[in-house]
Amino acid sequence: MVNDDPFARPIYSGKVRDLYDVDDRHLLMVASDRLSAFDVVMAETVPEKGRVLTGLTDYWVHHFARDIPSALVSCDPAVIDEFAPGFAARRDWHGRAMLVRRAQMLPLECIVRGRLAGQAYDEYVARGTVHGEPAPAGLALSDPFPEPRFTPSTKEESGHDRNIDLAEAAAIVGADVLARTQAMCLHLFTRAAAALEEVGLVLADTKFEVGVVDDRLVLCDEVITPDSSRIWPADQVRSGEVPPSFDKQPFRDWLVENAWDKTPPPPTVPDAIIAETSARYVEAYERVTGRPLSDWYGA
């Protein structure tokens, strides 16, 4: 039975997304324009961020549709309104909302890495491993691995997720589920990396969310967005250096320059930094999809 008012209050509110109950098979996931760092949400928002995250997820889900099932039903406001009457009037949510099937989520962050960066680089320098697994010697920051690597982490209810090796991941979800999840995520990464290469971009790494619907593994939540991935301009990738990313890097760079102790209250983010960050997100959408953001719902 359809809920008469699925917008009364979210059943879950994260740093970026809010989740609303629709019926016994569906949920409504709304991406906000909120901006966060070190688990602290800023007072300012980034215009168009939620539409970019949702539009890119929709793009990739359809790109992979022939190979990989997804929990996504639709981002079309007219379709969503059929399941959640009244949604059509919530124009501020158009382009930021996804109607999704309820899924039993795997308790893993399914990370695939094509290049050495971030926490993986720190571990590699310290121990020569990546998520506890041996890695080739002699790699520098931003260098490619011989093949993409499936590098899971835990989902912690509090604190930061913990990077784990494949044996521990298998102990959590079972060897068969892990093998199928690993194969699916590596396939998705390889296809996405090839597609991005055609438009002059490098997919350094990305995090997939995987769940189970009707006894099938399906792709859930956001897919290859600037918030879940490192996407670099190919012509600016240099071995040993950190390339610019199509995400909130202008904001992160500004934070580094300011002496914030990473605890609330957050600093006031200048308008110029917000505008530059928004432009990065919009450019990511338009370069990846080849379409203007103005064509996406909610313009």
Domains and CATH numbers, the chain: 1-102 (3.30.200.20), 105-236 (3.30.470.20)
pLDDT at 94 (0 to 100):
98
pLDDT at 157 (0 to 100):
72
Q: What would the two tokens of residue 272 be?
A: 């110029």
pLDDT at 163 (0 to 100):
95
| Cα–Cα–Cα angle for 130, 177, 59, rounded to 5 degrees | 80
In terms of C-beta density within 10 A (0-12 exposed, 13-18 middle, 19 or more buried), how is residue 142 classed? buried
User: 143: which residues sit within 8 A by CB, 6+ positions away?
Assistant: 115, 116, 239
Burial 92-106 (b: 16+ CB within 10 A, else e): ebbbbbbbbbbbeeb
Pairwise CA distance, residues 189 & 202, whole Å: 11
Assess contact for 164 and 153: CB atoms under 8 A. Answer: yes
Q: pLDDT tens digits for 239-251?
A: 999 999 888 888 9
Pairwise CA distance, residues 173 & 212, whole Å: 12
Q: pLDDT tens digits for 173-210?
A: 999 999 999 999 999 999 999 999 999 999 999 999 99
- Comparing CA positions, the residue from 221, 283, 269 lying closest to residue 45 is 269
Q: pLDDT tens digits for 31-67?
A: 999 999 888 999 999 999 999 999 999 999 999 988 8
pLDDT at 1 (0 to 100):
45
Q: At what angle do helices 49-64 and 271-289 cross, to 10 degrees?
A: 20
Residue 78 carries which DSSP code?
A: H
pLDDT in tens, the chain (299 residues): 455 565 778 999 999 999 999 999 999 999 999 999 888 999 999 999 999 999 999 999 999 988 899 999 999 999 999 999 999 999 999 999 999 999 999 999 999 999 999 999 999 999 999 999 999 999 999 999 999 999 999 988 766 789 999 999 999 999 999 999 999 999 999 999 999 999 999 999 999 999 999 999 999 999 999 999 999 999 999 999 999 988 888 898 898 888 888 899 999 999 999 999 999 999 999 999 999 999 999 99
Widest CA span in the chain: 59
Pairwise CA distance, residues 128 & 137, whole Å: 7
The model carries a pTM of: 0.94
